[in-house]
Structure 1
């Protein structure tokens, strides 16, 4: 058995979402405030240790407005109760229908040959073709009329409505029929629901103090809880610990006889008023293993020379957080192993495990969790992990990612397991293989970004922060993911970017080439396509992104004449080299475009450039901006292998201009609505 789907209704930003849960590990990703924490929190509210509590603020704003409207409808119904009872009845029904409820619906899949006793309480459909059971947790009104009467009677303000919400709404649990024709609902107790769905939560906000005072003892206390869990298992080595305590208790009893003998003698002097006839009190010790461990256990670390043991507060936050999380996971797996009967679904929620962990440790953590699940008796355990870490996403499985997209008016959950079915049939498998490898080798920042910029090479990557600062400073307040994809792979991201719906600027080169016929070694003519200036007659582009994606043109003349609409699709805009002004030359590459846009300053500062030789070998004296402009194509060609040096030269210059095509693209990112 496993949890197949979780559907959330009317909880904060999660107005209506359905999340497919992976068999082993599900990664919940998305930008800040996209609902990731709310998703975990709703499980904790319904299936955690505390009684479910919700406030009016847990409802979406639209639901709060529905409550206000319901109260207004009922007030109007009360005024019409005598004069127009039919209208009053209709308004009352409308008011009741408007009252919202928070729902968490879980669909559990099972096989015919499994032991179904764990979910017998929620199996309603007995059809042989049915292999799902549904449990639903609700926070709903006890009596709609009582709530509406109270709100109307008190002429409730917003603050009073909030109090009435907590007073009149409560948590209920139901078994739901899976028949599409009719959804039968049967109430069950919360205790039964928690026996079906077992949960554990490792939250991001664990309190660790990076101080040497060691007051919090988080790790030590966690180990105390771990010992308590193990103590309940008769098959562990805790029995040896108890044997040691028995011997210690005997020695303590003997010492107590000596220590407390005077006290008992004095008390006996008071006669039978204190102890009855024949009563001989004795002080004995009761050493409980869990009580001994509690508040007497400390985690220590060996000092550098091994001569001293240092308290846990001397260790770094990263190691403490990692140890804390791993211990929590092991405790949950141990409890799952010992559970009898086992719950139908065991869910382990880990919220933002990357806190205080450096990238390599984040990747090691994901691998370690995977190994734990495979190495322990963890069958049936499903991990749901929220993260802002591209390293964790890259170390996980591509199809386990659930992207919480909050760019529209209503949050959507985009399932990368479905991505395979939404790509074009022919390139789908090739695209998926490429993305899966790329996500492992590189980082997945695009899952968390407000905007994405795809670039070709090192020069653009090094200069992009400066170009954003120069011509689009507003973007510095956003999370912009700059992804280097090379000159032949940007189009491979087409399906993924469109699927995610993230605002994207693709910066690429014209890469103009011309047909040249040469003879091969056998004297036969052979077509070749060497690079050429963009103004070459009949030039074409060799750039797959321009040919296969946007604007979908091959002739350079047509590319340079393309409109902004031709370079834009949905929320993706493509930027390639264009002339800085009408009638001027257009660059083939970024380097040539930069030279054409900054010929004046390059002529002035040429002696200070480390790549000076790449310039002067193509220039006539005196070196002027016009001379540099005329030879920009040849100069850019000489920069191959020196592009990083050229980028650092640019960063050392003052007053340079961002090439027009990039400046216009960055401005589009600012003006394009992020929804």
Structure 2
């Protein structure tokens, strides 16, 4: 039994939101402010929160606030036309023949043996009766506000939003339902349901939700005892579940003995937890290790009587002496152990059918290697599920949210859920595995994309913008090209006595990705993630013999990306396109020119009456004097004397003088002055970067 989908309405950015969950682990990724924390908080508010403090007016989606404002200020609709509105959560639960149906049988809406889905609905809504009352209350509020204004002309009248901030909780109420599911249409029927509140049916036995927040309390201040407190909590949970009885009885028998004896018992009691810390990278042979030692003289008996110490060179040191990253990792492992013990419940109380565990941003304070180790090991622990000594074992379904490209790179591509802002007030969730369908005509392309992104460039999922480049030359130069653009734009605006309204390129969240000659393979992926993207490629002109040649004598081109994105435009057409023609948007299956398009594909354009074929050709053409002056210091050049003959054009110099492209790029960097003023950026690159900066 598992949750296969979660649907949310009108909660913060989650306006009409749904996300599919995997059976064991779902990795939820996305940039900041895309609803990852909101997903956690809305589930917790409905499943664990109290009625009184469940939601505030600020939790309402902005569009929903506007809808509510209209309802309150305009005429009362007919009751037959009105459906209760508010924040809603739906859990789509899937079960099979092997599951114990004792608990969910009470909420089943359909006895069809082929229908193995139930929907639990949680609502914080405004009923028709409450709408009538809130409109009356608002009228009274307006009258009082008008009277206050009459008495004091400086008084600022409060509007309907101010009213709702004060009184919303008096009219919105929570409700729980089991909603009919139509397997034929794969959708819910909200009009047919069981009212779980009026029927006094609990869902606690069906689903248990727990989480570890990103706001963890661990610090390395001297008075911090977070880890020590957690070990006591693990002990208390273990005692409450009546597990490890032998160790606990030993603990009680030896409670009045020496700290040394108790420390030996702790070593046995916490052996599994310490082993998990070791597996996650918290302990290495050449690094400090942890031990849990008794400190009875500082604690009340049976509670809080453990202190985490670090063993280092035969010396034990208190927990706060270790680095914050290690402390956070160890604390998280302890917290996972505590939550798993809580999921088990007591001997007299069986675990819930579904145990949903949410871990928020496990990467906090940890370096990349720790993040790799964490995600590599966590799935093996989660796969064990909820294991009890009495044999009543349940699965553990986990959701992990992250900003870490390192965690993503080590994860199963098919487990990943990508949150993306559709607008300023709406977020959607996409399954990365859905990309497989889009690449079904050429599965090899999907396999390449999947391997490349997870192994090399997972950070693009967290970027606001992306630059797709061909190779090492661009990779070496582009940070400097972006810095040069920023310097030039800053000087330009200083001359105008005003500030540049756009953030500098180097201050923007831009991911630079090497794609070689495969940028066309990334077409569907670019569309999928939907971020503003710049592709920088070469014109790659060829002659009638299909061999590369000067653009001036060329008849065609060999660049597959240009052929795809510009619909097999001719070479002459490509040469005639302006920067606006190169801004494109997908329309159905075809990319079309669109000045407001979110993708721009640039290539060499005419400068000084000549169009170059490659980056080196374009750079030499407009920076020949710069290279001439320093050519003896350019280690990436050969046949340097060719630069002395003015009849040798930039194409010939690029072909016959550039010994190794990466060395040539490094030469440019080495000889650049501190203000980036002694050479120029080729026009096609400059146009693209200025577009991306906007």
TM-score, normalized by length of structure 2?
Answer: 0.78
Matched-pair contact (CA < 8 Å) for 2:178–2:196: yes
Change (3 A) 1:468 1:657: same
- Equivalent pair of 2:72/2:131 in contact (CA under 8 Å): no
2:576 & 2:384 partners in 1: Cα distance? 61
Cα distance 1:550–1:160, how it changes in 2: closer, same or farther (>3 A)? closer
Deviation at 1:209, TM superposition (A): 2.0
- Cα contact 1:461–1:482 (8 A) shared by 2: yes
1:273-672 correspondence runs (5 A): 292-303=301-312, 305-306=313-314, 308-337=315-344, 340-377=349-386, 380-409=395-424, 410-421=426-437, 423-427=438-442, 429-471=443-485, 474-486=504-516, 488-514=517-543, 516=545, 529-538=546-555, 540-547=556-563, 549-553=564-568, 556-562=571-577, 564-565=580-581, 568-570=584-586, 571-581=598-608, 583-584=609-610, 586-611=611-636, 613-614=637-638, 616-620=640-644, 629=650, 631-635=652-656, 637-640=658-661, 642-649=663-670, 651-652=672-673, 654-671=677-694
Q: Distance in 2 between matches of 1:479 and 1:208?
A: 29
| Matching residue of 1:30 | 30
State the aligned residue count: 590
* Alignment partner, residue 44 of structure 1: 44
Aligned CA distance change for structure 1 residues 181 and 201 (closer, same or farther; 3 Å): closer
Instruction: Give the match for residue 113 of structure 2.
Output: 128
Task: Evaluate the alpha carbon distance shift between residue 104 and residue 376 of structure 1 in structure 2; reply closer, same or farther with a 3 A threshold.
Answer: closer
Cα deviation 1:437-496 (Å, max 9, x = unaligned): 11232121221111111111122122222222333663334211111112x221111111
> SS state of the match for residue 101, structure 1?
strand
Structure 2 equivalent of residue 56 of structure 1: 57
1:407, distance to aligned residue in structure 2 (A):
4.4
Separation in structure 2 between the aligned mates of residue 137 and residue 42 of structure 1, nearest angstrom:
10
Secondary structure, in 3 states, of the residue corresponding to 1:219? helix
Q: Could you say if the C-alpha distance between residues 368 and 400 of structure 1 is closer, same or farther in structure 2, counting changes exceeding 3 Å?
A: same
Cα distance in structure 1, aligned partners of 2:100 and 2:14: 34
3-state DSSP class of the match of 1:386? strand
Determine which structure has more spread, i.e. the larger CA radius of gyration.
1
- Structure 2: tracts of 5 or more residues without a match: 146-157, 183-187, 259-295, 388-393, 487-502, 587-597
CA distance in 2, matches of 1:15, 1:95: 24
Residue 152 of structure 1 aligns with which residue?
A: 139
* Distance in 1 between residues matched to 2:433 and 2:575, nearest whole Å: 39
1:164 is aligned to 167
Equivalent-residue separation in structure 1 for 2:190 and 2:651 (angstroms): 77
Distance (whole Å) between structure 1 residues aligned to residue 651 and residue 444 of structure 2: 43
Q: For residues 235 and 27 of structure 1, do their structure 2 counterparts lie closer, same or farther at Cα, with a shift above 3 Å needed?
A: closer
SS at match of 1:411: strand
State the 1:418 CA deviation: 2.2
CA distance in 2 between counterparts of 1:362 and 1:544 reads 38
Alignment partner of 2:400: what SS?
strand
| Shift, 1:216, TM fit | 2.5
Q: How much has 1:66 moved relative to structure 2?
A: 2.3
Separation of aligned partners in 2, 1:369 and 1:393: 13
**Alpha-carbon deviation of 1:109?**
0.6
How far residue 106 of structure 1 moved from its aligned partner, in angstroms, is: 0.5
Change (3 A) 1:651 1:357: farther
Distance in structure 2 (CA, Å) of the matches to 1:338 and 1:643: 66
Residue in 1 that maps onto 2:240: 232
Name the SS for the 1:193 alignment partner: coil
Specify whether residues 184 and 317 from structure 1 end up closer, same or farther in structure 2 by C-alpha distance, changes over 3 A only: same
Contact 1:69 1:95 in 2 (8 A): no
After superposition, give the CA deviation of every residue in 1:54-88 in whole Å (9 maximum; x if it has no partner): 110111122222222222225xxxxxxxxxxxxxx
Q: Distance in 2 between matches of 1:298 and 1:250?
A: 17
The verdict on how the C-alpha distance between 1:244 and 1:101 changes in structure 2, with shifts beyond 3 A counting, is: closer
**3-state SS in 2 of match to 1:68:** helix
The CA deviation string for residues 480-536 of structure 1, in whole angstroms up to 9 with x for no partner, is 1111112x22111111111221111111122334465xxxxxxxxxxxx54433333
What do the CA deviations read for 1:357-397 (whole angstroms, capped 9, x no partner)? 11121111111111112345575311111111111111112
Contact 1:5 1:20 survives alignment (8 Å): yes
Structure 2: how far apart are the matches of 1:98 and 1:185? 14
Indicate the RMSD between aligned Cα atoms, in angstroms: 2.9
Task: State the 1:173 CA deviation.
Answer: 1.5
Q: Structure 1, residues 105-127: CA drift from partner, whole Å, max 9, x if none?
A: 00001113321113223211112
- The answer on whether the counterparts of 2:180 and 2:189 sit within 8 Å (CA) in structure 1 is no
For the structure 1 residues 94 and 480, does the alpha-carbon distance in structure 2 shift closer, same or farther, using more than 3 Å as the test? farther
Per-residue deviation, 1:182: 6.5
CA distance in 2, matches of 1:31, 1:191: 39
CA contact (8 A) 1:6 1:18 kept: yes
Post-superposition shift, 1:154? 2.4
